Structure 1
Amino acid sequence: MYFLTACLIVVALSFQVSFRRAWNLSRNSQWAAPAQRLVARRRALWPGLCAAIFTLLVLIGFNHVQSELVHSATANLMMLGISFSGGWFLGVIAGMDWD
């Protein structure tokens, strides 16, 4: 029960941070040219992509030491990583100006 609450908190916090970033970038580029808007969208997506790559590298690292850890610890870390990446992605999508 506590772990599910922790996952929901991670989703909510990462959503809020990415939503604010994407909203600010979209709002500041509202009167910009289409190419500049595309650059702003890429800037909003960049931290989410970095988070996904970092999560993947962490999971690969834990796969190598999995014999020393309990399998549930690896599954919990995977769930937290997915919660973070999912919240960030949803925040970026919600904060973008879709014209």
Structure 2
Amino acid sequence: MPNLFSEIPENISEEIFEDIISTEGVRIERILSHGQSSPETGWYDQAENEWVIVLKGQGVIEFKTGQIVTLSKGDYVNIKAGEKHRVISTSSQEVTVWLAVFYK
């Protein structure tokens, strides 16, 4: 039986992105972070909407508008398509488990 908390490595040198479900209209992805942030080279600017929740750990998202959102266990945010954003930090104390739902 698949489990979102199984097969989580203790040491993560780079974020891990894993598709759980991918169809024409929706994609669900598990993201594992451990102290990582978005690359300095730019902002995410996605063609899809993204609903994302932190299941474990903590992550901080900055929007191009200047808004900063801190997400802890159970917190979620909906990011509209084209809304530029980046992850400015994730917990260095534990692995952060995100669940992201991308939809049209």
TM-score by length of 1: 0.22
Task: Give the structure with higher Rg (CA).
Answer: 1
Question: Larger % of helix: which?
Answer: 1
TM-score by length of 2: 0.21
Question: Larger % of strand: which?
Answer: 2
